[in-house]
């Protein structure tokens, strides 16, 4: 039993010549022809680890599409922020929560290397990457990392929250004390005025009686 085994990742026409000869010297030949069709190889996504970054950093995304097929094969890829606060920024500088790419695998990989993640605040981040090629192979993965709050105003405000609350409480108490003091002073001045008026009225009445 003879089998034909093509080389890995090779496709094309095959021609096999068969020659048979017996003891009497008779010879016969035959030819077998067939095609080895190309089978689309599975597309894979390589996403290297980012780990932890600060909210002042804008890392490039370590994403690469791999395939045994020729790198000129057309692929489509979508990168989307599915968790966390931040945006994707391409070579054109435009910020977006999702980006689509469609070109040869070589060109898409070149574009992916230019994409940055721009944090808005600290926290966990997850990016979803979906890719498919013209042969119908589709795959997806997620890239996880953490953003440490260092320069984000919003996070600084959160950390100062308890201190600000204490300060506001002190100011409120001070304002209430001042309000009471003003009320007491006004009451005192008002009392003296009423007393003076009463004394004046009494004096006037006394003068009339004496006349």
Q: Quickly count: other Cβ atoms within 10 Å of residue 112's Cβ.
A: 22
User: Which of 28-42, 153-167, 174-188 is predicted least confidently?
Assistant: 153-167
63 contacts 131 by C-beta, under 8 angstroms: no
Output 132 or 37, whichever has higher pLDDT. Answer: 132
Q: What percent of the chain has pLDDT over 70?
A: 72
**Cα-based distances in Å from 32 to 2, 35, 39, 140:** 13, 10, 22, 42
Output 150 or 78, whichever has higher pLDDT. Answer: 78
The mean pLDDT of 72-87, rounded to a whole number, is 95
Q: For residue range 130-170, what is the model confidence (pLDDT) as tens digits?
A: 999 998 899 999 999 999 988 654 444 444 445 445 555 56
Residue 180 exposure: Cα atoms within 13 Å on the Cβ side: 5
Query: How many Å apart are CA 5 and CA 211, to the nearest integer?
Result: 144
Q: What is residue 111's DSSP assignment?
A: H
pLDDT for 91: 87
Total-model pTM: 0.59
List 88's β-bridge partners, or say none. Answer: 96, 117
């Amino acid at each position: 039993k003879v089998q034909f085994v093509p080389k890995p990742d090779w496709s094309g026409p095959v021609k096999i010549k068969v020659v048979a000869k017996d003891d009497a010297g008779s010879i016969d030949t035959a030819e077998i022809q067939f095609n080895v069709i190309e089978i689309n190889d599975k597309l894979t996504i390589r996403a290297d680890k980012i780990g932890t970054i600060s909210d002042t950093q804008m890392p490039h995304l370590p994403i690469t599409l791999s395939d045994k097929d020729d790198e000129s094969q057309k692929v489509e890829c979508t990168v989307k922020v599915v968790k966390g606060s931040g945006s994707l920024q391409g070579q054109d500088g435009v910020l977006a929560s999702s980006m689509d790419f469609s070109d040869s695998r070589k060109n898409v990989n070149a574009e992916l290397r230019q994409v940055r993640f721009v944090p808005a605040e600290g926290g966990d981040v997850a990016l979803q990457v979906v890719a498919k090629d013209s042969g119908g192979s589709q795959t997806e993965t997620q890239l996880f990392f953490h953003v440490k709050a260092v320069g984000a105003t919003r996070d600084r405000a959160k950390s100062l929250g308890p201190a600000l609350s204490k300060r506001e409480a002190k100011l409120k108490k001070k304002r209430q004390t001042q309000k009471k003091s003003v009320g007491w002073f006004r009451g005192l001045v008002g009392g003296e005025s009423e007393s003076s008026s009463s004394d004046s009225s009494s004096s006037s009445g006394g003068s009339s009686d004496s006349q």
